[in-house]
Amino acid sequence: MIPAVNLLPYYTDEGGTTVIYTLYQNGQLQKVYRYPIHKKGVGWIGLLPFAWINYFTTDLEDAVEGATFQFLIDAQRDGYLGTKN
């Protein structure tokens, strides 16, 4: 998507979302993992020649996938995933 053209430069931090994984074991809450995803950007007519860079940036789907991978790493590190002896 090509960003909106603006004559004055601006910076935005539009917030984003938080991915939350709640881990239960035998019906008992063990831990809640939270991964915030922030969306930031700049705009200005002078940056229009660089709009093609947007095709190489992370979209929401990729960010959620990254949060899922991080959850799996964190849960395994905390001992919730894997085999128990």
Q: Sort 72 into a burial class: Cβ within 10 Å, 0-12 / 13-18 / 19+.
A: middle
Is there a contact between 16 and 37 (Cβ–Cβ < 8 Å)? yes
**Helices in the chain by DSSP H: which ranges?**
60-77
* Residue boundaries of the structural domains of the chain: 10-77
pLDDT at 2: 52
The CA-based dihedral angle spanning residues 13, 42, 6, 52, taken in that order and rounded to the nearest 10 degrees: -130
pLDDT at 4: 52
Per residue in 24-76, pLDDT tens?
989 999 999 999 998 887 777 777 787 777 777 778 889 999 999 999 999 99
